[in-house]
Amino acid sequence: MTINKDFFDPERSINYDLQTSGRSPEAWTDAARAAERFVPTHCSFCGVQCAMYLRVKDGQVIGVEPRNYPHSRGSLCPKGVVAYQQANHPDRLRYPMVRRNGTLVRASWDEALSFVVGRWQAIQAEHGKDAVAIYSGSSMTNEKCYLMGKFARVALGTRYIDYNGRLCMSSAAGAYEKAFGLDRAAIPMPDIPLADVILVVGSNVAECFPVAMQWIWRARDRGARIIVVDPRETPIARTADLWLPIRPGGDVALLNAILKILIDDGMVDEKYVRERTNGWDDVRAAAGQFSLEETERITGIPVHRILAAARLYGSARTSLIMHARGIEHSSHGVDNCLACINLALARGQVGKPGGGTMMLTGQGNGQGGREMGQKAAQLPGYRHIDDPDARRYIAGVWGIPEPELPGAGVSAPDMVRLMANGTIKSCLVMCSNLMVSLPDNAVVERALDNLDPLVVVDFFMSETAERADVVLPSAVWCEDEGTTTNLEGRVVRINQAAEPPGEARRDWEIACDLARRLGRGEFFTFQSAREIWDELRVATKGGIADYSGITYEKIDAQDGVFWPCASEDSEGTPRLFTERFAHADGRARMIPVTYRPPAETPGGDFPFYLTTGRVVYQYLSGNQTRRLAFLNSQAPDPWVEIHPTAAGRLGIPNEDVVRVRTPRGAMELRALVTPTIRPDTLFIPFHYGHRQAVNQLTNAAVDPMVRIPEFKCCAATIEKLGAPSAAASKGATENLTAANAPAIFPYQVAPPAARPVEERTAH
């Protein structure tokens, strides 16, 4: 079927289904419908940023309609369909609150902001500028992310700002920066069907990015093979040609072993490696760290499956590695991503349509949020804050002397440590829910309780806002305009459909008001998001992430613009690295990585691996989706997945309430006994708060380069309630491996017979 670009026409209110079913559109276009307005925008949730129309009537957002766009083609997943319900939700925060006698009570904006500014000025006078911090978010528009970076450095003069993207993508960002000199997916999603083989490493694509799956299915329809590396048999793994049920934390060992097979079998593109990369000799030497048998012991994947995967991947004319949090949430997350990149470079794939590597950015504006200057050591345009030229340029744009610009701060987890030890005395949390999203959250609780004041800006009462001294009500995404940058690097436009309810304000209005009260109003005179955008464009000009040539009008005209876009004449850059990489010499860096075990491995009283992840019906900390009735009805509580063999040994029936413990804490929840997980591994989704938060249990160990926490691997035990608590599951995983229990993994062990691969053309 050919999809008509204009299959939904908001002018005429004609629905595609009615057109094709032959019924009269007039029958459907009644007076009430005609009174509606249709606002083109994009989903508020994940990094795909699917396009949609919001239906607006009498100033209220009342529904959603499909909107065609090159990357989402009119599709929405269950979250996108109900995203609009946030706007009129009864739980919306409608007025500021200040804690008095232990209780949050209503206050005026003037009372709340005066209190905050008074405290900040007193704290900074006594303890210095850095005693106040900003913890920002990446689900906000580029304009707001940019403004928070400027607010921290110019209004507060603090070095301490970081954001929740640190917990999400920072290892992929660090690896791409090192290897390619630029942190962005190299190809747009419509290129995916050009791949002959897609190797998905650590991504539950179908649940986390449902609308992106259409491009993988298109590739498969054209003959592409799919290999999935995951400890769980996720939905995409169930239909893959080859599933590698990896033991959590074994990724570098596996990827290096695949590289060694490519080398031994003569599958390396020597010409490409020679002409376009540096560092191959060191990478080649590191690839032989383990024999295949040792790799099997580390990863739990039988040798024959490793061989099958390597030969399938290595023989493809065009191959794409897609990766996400499964390998990025690791104390060696950067190495994991570099190992993927080494494979793709060795095969000569990066810079080729449909080939290379593709990181799957999680948050709605996870890509743009990490380019706008709200990272600890970053200025707008992906400039480094310790680069003298960058400092001079940005100080000039902001109109301050360069020495006034603070230096680098520290990562989000390290800021929490500084809160816990009293170095940071107050923090403004913008659009983030630390109490659910950071590991080992008993420590987070103590850190937040140390702050005086903790100030939270949000539109729903989050687990973090519950602990705040001041809560400031903000707008949801459809109550403001601006831009986001999706996981492809495509900048899209968010349009305003309604006004914020009650006394709620847009985030940028709150920041500008605070700046004025801090005596820095002259630097924050913005009257609209568009004015912030215009300054942002200048600030990013000449940076790695150059947005200077992108206008709101160009975004509308082109269905999004890919950065870098350095002039208004440029259409942007959908495909990167076709001729050269972003390093000064134009060559990619191949960087050797060696296997290091996870920071905590099972043993003794904690015999299982515990890993965490998402489900399709919830988003991030769940503060939004747990309030949307349909979504929450499908996944109202967390559960722990356990393999039937392990459950049988422990006498745990399906749906029994169990206790899962790690060295940091324990939680009680229902067991889901399922063969879709490794027998030595437990899985708990992370979208829930309070005693249902799995981050009570996770390990706070971080990657040494980018400081991303190791959410995906720690040691755990599971026990029936009422069972003796000490080491109840000790021995439960003995002799349960992928290699010696083939009946537990009744899946493909070799690639299926060759199917013809169609000649592929770009979309």
- Binding residues for ligand SF4 (CB under 6 A): 43, 45-46, 48-50, 76-77, 79-80, 209-211
Helix, strand or coil, per DSSP, at residue 661: strand
| Token pair belonging to 484 | 């986001």
- Whole-number minimum distance, CB 524 to ligand SF4, in Å? 31
Query: How many Å apart are CA 231 and CA 217, to the nearest integer?
Result: 22
Query: How many Å apart are CA 362 and CA 515, to the nearest integer?
Result: 31
Query: How many Å apart are CA 460 and CA 476, to the nearest integer?
Result: 9
Q: How many CA atoms lie within 13 A of 730 on its CB side?
A: 9
Query: How many Å apart are CA 165 and CA 649, to the nearest integer?
Result: 40
For residue 586, the tally of other CB atoms under 10 A from its CB is: 12
- Whole-number minimum distance, CB 57 to ligand SF4, in Å? 22
- Whole-number minimum distance, CB 55 to ligand SF4, in Å? 16
Is 627:86 a contact under the CB 8 Å cutoff? Answer: yes
Helix, strand or coil, per DSSP, at residue 111: helix
- Output 79 or 144, the one with its CB closest to ligand SF4: 79
- Whole-number minimum distance, CB 71 to ligand SF4, in Å? 10
- Output 48 or 226, the one with its CB closest to ligand SF4: 48
- Whole-number minimum distance, CB 628 to ligand SF4, in Å? 12
- Output 48 or 599, the one with its CB closest to ligand SF4: 48
- Whole-number minimum distance, CB 433 to ligand SF4, in Å? 17
Fill in the amino acid letter for 738: A
Helix, strand or coil, per DSSP, at residue 242: strand
Is 415:424 a contact under the CB 8 Å cutoff? Answer: yes
Query: How many Å apart are CA 479 and CA 272, to the nearest integer?
Result: 49
- Output 488 or 680, the one with its CB closest to ligand SF4: 488
- Output 50 or 588, the one with its CB closest to ligand SF4: 50
- Whole-number minimum distance, CB 360 to ligand SF4, in Å? 11
- Output 322 or 410, the one with its CB closest to ligand SF4: 322
- Whole-number minimum distance, CB 141 to ligand SF4, in Å? 15
- Whole-number minimum distance, CB 65 to ligand SF4, in Å? 13
- Output 53 or 526, the one with its CB closest to ligand SF4: 53
Cα–Cα separations (whole angstroms), residue 205 to 69, 233, 234, 362, 616: 20, 12, 9, 10, 10
Cα–Cα separations (whole angstroms), residue 755 to 308, 314, 749: 16, 16, 17
- Output 49 or 349, the one with its CB closest to ligand SF4: 49
Q: Rounded to the nearest 10 degrees, what angle do helices 142-150 and 529-540 cross at?
A: 70
| Token pair belonging to 425 | 């005395």
Nearest to 671 by CA among 719, 711, 735: 719
- Residue 537's H or E segment, with its range, is helix 529-540
Nearest to 694 by CA among 660, 643, 646, 656: 660
**Preceding peptide of 564 cis, ω within 30°:** yes
Query: How many Å apart are CA 343 and CA 303, to the nearest integer?
Result: 18
- Whole-number minimum distance, CB 77 to ligand SF4, in Å? 3
SS (H, E, C) 69-83: CCCCCCCCCHHHHHH
- Whole-number minimum distance, CB 507 to ligand SF4, in Å? 20
- Output 210 or 333, the one with its CB closest to ligand SF4: 210
- Output 209 or 393, the one with its CB closest to ligand SF4: 209
Regarding beta strands 383-384 and 378-379, do their DSSP bridges make them parallel or antiparallel, or are they unpaired?
antiparallel
- Output 54 or 447, the one with its CB closest to ligand SF4: 54
- Output 7 or 180, the one with its CB closest to ligand SF4: 7
- Whole-number minimum distance, CB 75 to ligand SF4, in Å? 7
- Whole-number minimum distance, CB 146 to ligand SF4, in Å? 22
- Output 46 or 682, the one with its CB closest to ligand SF4: 46
- Whole-number minimum distance, CB 690 to ligand SF4, in Å? 24
| Token pair belonging to 717 | 């035990």
Cα–Cα separations (whole angstroms), residue 318 to 196, 543, 577: 5, 31, 15
- Output 44 or 699, the one with its CB closest to ligand SF4: 44
* SS percent in the chain: helix, strand, coil, step 5: 35, 20, 45
Q: Rounded to the nearest 10 degrees, what angle do helices 333-346 and 251-264 cross at?
A: 20
Regarding beta strands 132-136 and 426-430, do their DSSP bridges make them parallel or antiparallel, or are they unpaired?
parallel
- Output 50 or 515, the one with its CB closest to ligand SF4: 50
Nearest to 160 by CA among 183, 127, 111: 127
Residue, CB closest to ligand SF4: 80
- Whole-number minimum distance, CB 365 to ligand SF4, in Å? 11
- Output 48 or 252, the one with its CB closest to ligand SF4: 48
DSSP characters over 159-184: S-EEEGGGGTTHHHHHHHHHHHSS-S
- Whole-number minimum distance, CB 218 to ligand SF4, in Å? 16
Nearest to 365 by CA among 202, 547, 230: 547
Query: How many Å apart are CA 136 and CA 81, to the nearest integer?
Result: 27
First to last CA, the chain: 15
- Whole-number minimum distance, CB 43 to ligand SF4, in Å? 3
Nearest to 45 by CA among 16, 72, 2, 77: 77
> Residue 285 has what DSSP assignment?
H
- Output 43 or 684, the one with its CB closest to ligand SF4: 43
